[in-house]
Structure 1
Amino acid sequence: MSAVPDAPRAAWAEAPVPPSWRRLPDRVFALCLVELEKLRRDRTELFTRAVQPALWLLIFGETFTRLRAIPTGPVPYLDYLAPGILAQSALFIAIFYGIQIIWERDAGVLTKLLVTPTPRAALVTGKAFAAGVRALAQAVVVLVLSALLGVALNANPLHLLGVAAVLMLGAAFFSCLSMTIAGLVLTRDRLMGIGQAITMPLFFGSNALYPIELMPHWLQTVSRFNPLSYEVDALRGLLIGTPAHLLLDFGVLAGSVVIGVTAASALLGRLAR
């Protein structure tokens, strides 16, 4: 039996570990697959989470369309509202995503993840885009309901891909915001309280329900610093063809995600202490 040369054996044993930036896409993809597996096992969650958007469209949208109380130009109010409710549904999923990471801390899962070679940014990014996967799954339900109610949606495949990208970026940012808050408050009860306190101001302080021009000046200023406003603007431009600033919208959302991932990654270790 021939002996294996020492040099090749040593080279095999000391194979270089890929740098962290090369492992990032694999970790993000793996965590997104885990999220899809959760959805596959519990499909009822999609429909229970779709109840609130459905009520907004059926009751608020239909009523204000008849009243014509909110001027939206040539666009029917229900058409104007549908992209805003789509963004709202993604927001409501993502803003409490930090609860999951606190649960993983309490179960000991987070500590095990942090001792692996996986970069913290990969863990945060994976969870952020996993929230986007959930948002996309619910978006299908909201879009189908909108179509059934007669909303004139743009079915251009490129536009639908843009809608998917916008929802992923929006959900990623708000889930990072939630994980950042989790890293600061450290408990589920506090996170729930803060999440409930900021969700409705984020929603009502955006252009989801009414044009920015109808707001008081101070609220217009707040709206321009609200990432949800840029998400809604992009969704309206892609879905119903209203004038939109797509380059600015995508830029703000992408920049917000980078800031969110950076902040959440910096605080991730604090959760495991």
Structure 2
Amino acid sequence: MSAAPAAPPPASADATALSDQHFALLLTPPRPRAGWRVIPARTWAMCAVELQKLRHDRTELYTRAVQPALWLLIFGETFTRIRAIPTGNVPYLDYLAPGIIAQSAMFIAIFYGIMIIWERDSGVLTKLLVTPTPRAALVTGKAFAAGLKALIQAVVVIALAAVLGVALSWNPLKLLGVVVVVLLGSAFFSCLSMSIAGIVLTRDRLMGIGQAITMPLFFGSNALYPVAVMPGWLKAVSMVNPLSYEVDALRGLLIGTPAHLAVDFAVLTFAALLGIAAAASLLGRLAR
């Protein structure tokens, strides 16, 4: 006679075992990330936190889109008609559009230090600095959040330029290069702003310095006119101005003018890394 099959365990036993497994997972700490993965993960976390602010207030994006639109519609259209600035065979509006992209990105990034000071005054920065997040990751996350905001402005300018008849390149690789250039340029200028914030420590002083340097940076670059028509002293300023390299790269990628892309990317990468190092080293002064 065959043996009777064993009775299955009661359902309550299965539920108890599953509950014990879940409880054990709660008591077991998560496996730590490898050292090389910590900084990228926390950098992205800081960047995501910054971008979350756009969900609550998009007014900044709309208002900042007005100025580049006016530059293209008024300044660009007018100087295209009077042909006052020599740009060779390239229409002036085509020549101007990449410069306005770089300008709008810089104007967004250059006042990013004000947010750092606001976070210091509200106590947020102190809480961030006592977390295990490296200061370089915190600064880099904020810098590239500024770059992503600047990309939104770049899309607006590119769309408007296309409507106005600017002959832009739509090559995907070149557009990817535009994304990288805007991110690097914005990272430098936002880190410059955060570095200044770490020195002056107050919003009023930072606002004054920001307003004092934005227009010289803009007019001291090749955004509005070729380097060849500049006086000698302004050519020297343009050579050390990162905005000039950003504009040169954008022109080469978007409208196909002769550019020094390898030099442009190298200078922008070096400037961004230098800016991140400077801002990270000065960040602690804000929390004192």
- Normalised by the size of structure 2, how large is the TM-score? 0.88
Aligned-pair identity in percent equals 77
Paired residue for 1:7?
none
SS at 2:212 equivalent: helix
**Which residue is equivalent to 2:263?**
248
Q: Quick one: distance in 2 between partners of 1:43 and 1:102?
A: 21
- Which of 132, 153, 162 is residue 168 of structure 2 equivalent to? 153
- The alpha-carbon distance between structure 1 residues 24 and 76, as it changes in their structure 2 partners (threshold 3 A), is same
CA deviation digits over 1:150-208, x for unaligned, max 9? 11111111111110110000000000000000000000000000000000000000000
- Alignment partners' CA distance in 2, 1:15 and 1:130: 28
CA distance in 2, matches of 1:270, 1:166: 30
Distance 1:261 1:68, change over 3 A: same
Cα separation, 2, equivalents of 1:37 and 1:15 = 27
Structure 2: which 5+ runs fail to align? 1-27
**Partner amino acid for 1:209?**
L
Which one-letter code corresponds to 1:237 in the other structure? G
| Match of residue 20 from structure 2 | none
> Does residue 1:93 correspond to 2:98, yes or no?
no
Structure 1: any 5+ residue segments left out of the alignment?
A: 1-11
Question: Residue type of the partner of 1:216?
Answer: P
Distance 1:23 1:163, change over 3 A: same
Partner of 2:95: 80
Q: Structure 1 residue 34: deviation in Å?
A: 2.3
Question: Which residue of structure 2 aligns with residue 171 of structure 1?
Answer: 186
Where in structure 2 are the equivalents of 1:1-273 lying within 5 Å? 18-19=34-35, 21-273=36-288
Higher Cα Rg: structure 1 or 2? 2
CA distance in 2 between partners of 1:17 and 1:253 (Å)? 30
Distance 1:112 1:242, change over 3 A: same
Query: CA 1:16 to 1:55, structure 2 compared with 1: closer, same or farther past 3 Å?
Result: closer
Deviation at 1:14, TM superposition (A): 11
| Deviation at residue 15 of structure 1 after TM alignment | 6.5
What's the CA shift for 1:13? 6.7
Q: Distance in 1 between matches of 2:218 and 2:226?
A: 13
Write the letter of the residue equivalent to 1:125: T
Q: What is the identity, as a one-letter code, of the residue corresponding to 1:82?
A: A
Tell me the matched-pair count: 266
Cα distance, 1:35 vs. partner?
2.9
CA contact (8 A) 1:35 1:134 kept: no
Whole-angstrom distance in 2 between the partners of 1:15 and 1:61? 56
1:31 positional shift: 2.1
For the residue of structure 1 that corresponds to 2:224, the secondary structure is coil
SS of match in other structure, 1:210: coil
**TM superposition shift of 1:37:** 2.2
Deviation at 1:18, TM superposition (A): 4.3
SS of 1:153's partner is coil
Cα-Cα RMSD: 2.0
Give distance in 1, aligned partners of 2:200 and 2:85: 39
Assess, with a 3 A threshold, how the Cα gap between structure 1 residues 38 and 13 changes in structure 2: closer, same or farther: closer
Instruction: Say whether the 8 Å CA contact 1:35–1:133 is kept in structure 2.
Output: no
Which stretch shows the higher mean deviation, 30-39 or 81-90? 30-39
Query: What amino acid is the match of 1:124?
Result: V
Q: Give the 3 Å change call, closer, same or farther, for CA 14–77 of structure 1 in structure 2.
A: closer
